[in-house]
Amino acid sequence: MAITALGTASGLDLESLVKQLVQVERASKESRLEKVSKGLDSSLSGFGKLKSALSKFQDSVKALSTENLSARTTTVKQPTDDKTYLEAKAKTTSATGSFDIKVNALAEGSRLETAGGAFASASSIVSTTAGKMTFSAGTKSFEVNVTANMTLDQLRQKINSTGSNFGVSANLINSSDTGTKLVLTSNVTGLGNNLSVTNNNAELNNVSTGGLVVAKNAADAVITIDGILTKSKTNVFSNAIQDTELTVSNITPDGNNARMTIATDKKQAEDKIKTFMDSYNALVTEVETLSRNRMLSTDGKTVILEGGDLNGDSMVRGIMSQVSSIMTGAVKTADPKLNNLYALGITFTDQGKMEIQAKSSFGNLSGRERLDKALNENYDLIGSLFTSKDGLGTLSTKLSTEFTQRGGLLAGKEEALKAEIKKNGKDKEAFELYMFSFESTMRQRYGALDSQLGSLQRTSSFLTSQLASLPRIGG
């Protein structure tokens, strides 16, 4: 009969003994592997946090580039509150200023109509033979095929349903005096862009240029900017004011013009400066957290605060030191009026974090006052402080790239850690195989011992019974 558990033969608790031996063997080696694994994971996580903080900081620096700070805002004071007369968009290269704008006329398309009495009704035949009509306005055109005996209403529908129609609307107006008129309205605006209709069939002359009456000519939009007249073939004026787009939609009342103002977006700039400061301070905090030492109580044993994930790695504080050096330095290629963060209103606390002080000291302008001065008087110089050849953003981006790019120090450390984590995983697998082998060996050894002890016990019992059955001397 097979022995199903250690100790069955001998009656000893060998099963518990083997389990204890396995536990002792596992605990000593497994704890070392887990400690290594935890340390590697923490370090990799720490470098990820550092890279994330650096990335957010660099994004905030890029937002302060000349290009990103060049945004202009446009505001229009409409002549009356019930209508929109003028809308404006300004490019980043437009100059600031305020302009008085009068809308004299809106751009219009042309309108043609058939002569009175040319057609009695909507069912009147346009042509008894087939032909082709070509509609043109400006640089646009499309064609309509006219079938034999097509009625005026069928022609209207054909024009309106043609897929290549660029904007010609055909309508019928029934008059008790002049019969039915075909009215063609073009949305192509601008002087000289009247709708023209040609054909290849003389029967279609009544619905073509020559037979059609010009009810309204196409016209330009006309505005007056600070007393200077200018025109546009559409209701959109591009560069009437350089690098600015104006769109007109209603004629302004006499003596009551629109007022359009182009200004720098100071609110957006200030928000970006605050984001820059916040991201820098967050980087400082992250570096402090990652590199802090373990803190012990006065007894020298009790841990009050665990050390950071990258405690002991000098590179972490080295990165922060270099970034801080850039931020506290002066930019030689920037305008002397604004060549450092102090001129932008930013100073550093004893903890190395950025701040804008509301109060002045030693008779100087406060940080808030210096920031306002930069925004109001030197707005276009802010970008060069960050993006000039030796600008704060240029240098910090170069530094960050050196650490985070493929082959950089941070990337190199991450790759090394990933390789160690992979090796640690294989070590764990090997350890499990070892433990399986160790337990199997222990079971074999103690299984053999269990069998031997059981055999000895059976032999002992047999001998004892045999001795007991022998006759006693003198009995």
CATH 2.60.40 domain locations along the chain: 109-216
Measure Cα distances from 31 to 23, 101, 419, 428 in Å.
Answer: 12, 80, 20, 11
Give the C-alpha separation, 251 to 354, whole Å: 52
pTM: 0.61
SS3 state of residue 293: coil
Query: What tokens does 210 get?
Result: 């020559």
Q: Identify the CA nearest to 172 among candidates 118, 218, 129.
A: 118
SS3 state of residue 252: coil
Please provide the size of the chain in residues. 475
Mind listing the pLDDT tens digit for each residue in 181-216? 999 999 999 999 999 999 999 999 999 999 999 999
Mind listing the pLDDT tens digit for each residue in 63-101? 888 777 877 889 999 999 999 999 999 988 888 899 999
Query: What tokens does 75 get?
Result: 């505001």
Burial 137-169 (b: 16+ CB within 10 A, else e): bbebebebebeeebebbbbbebbeebeebbebe
- CATH code of the domain occupying 109-216: 2.60.40
Query: What tokens does 202 get?
Result: 């003389």
User: What is the full DSSP assignment across 225-275?
Assistant: ETTEEEEESSSEEESSSTTEEEEE-SPPPTT--EEEEEEE-HHHHHHHHHH
Mind listing the pLDDT tens digit for each residue in 111-153? 999 999 999 999 999 999 999 999 999 999 999 999 999 999 9
pLDDT in tens, the chain (475 residues): 344 577 676 777 778 888 888 888 788 787 787 777 777 777 778 778 888 888 899 999 988 887 778 778 899 999 999 999 999 999 888 888 999 999 999 999 999 999 999 999 999 999 999 999 999 999 999 999 999 999 999 999 999 999 999 999 999 999 999 999 999 999 999 999 999 999 999 999 999 999 999 999 999 999 999 999 999 999 999 999 999 999 999 999 999 999 999 998 888 899 999 999 999 999 999 989 888 877 777 777 776 677 777 787 888 888 899 999 999 999 999 999 999 999 999 999 999 999 999 988 777 899 999 999 999 999 888 988 998 899 999 999 888 887 776 766 677 777 777 787 788 788 788 888 888 888 888 888 887 887 887 778 778 887 888 787 887 776 5
Measure Cα distances from 464 to 421, 457, 468, 472 in Å.
Answer: 63, 10, 6, 14
Any idea which residue has 């605990």 for tokens?
27
CB half-sphere exposure, 14, CA atoms < 13 A = 24
Query: What tokens does 1 get?
Result: 């009969």
Strand order of the β-sheet with 131-137 is 140-146, 131-137, 196-199
* CA max distance for the chain: 165
SS3 state of residue 403: helix
Residue type, 235: N
Residue type, 444: Q
- Other C-beta atoms within 10 Å of 419: how many? 11
Measure Cα distances from 106 to 89, 218, 223, 325, 431 in Å.
Answer: 19, 10, 9, 59, 85
Beta strands (DSSP E) in 289-357 are 295-296, 303-305, 347-348, 354-355
Any idea which residue has 């499309």 for tokens?
142
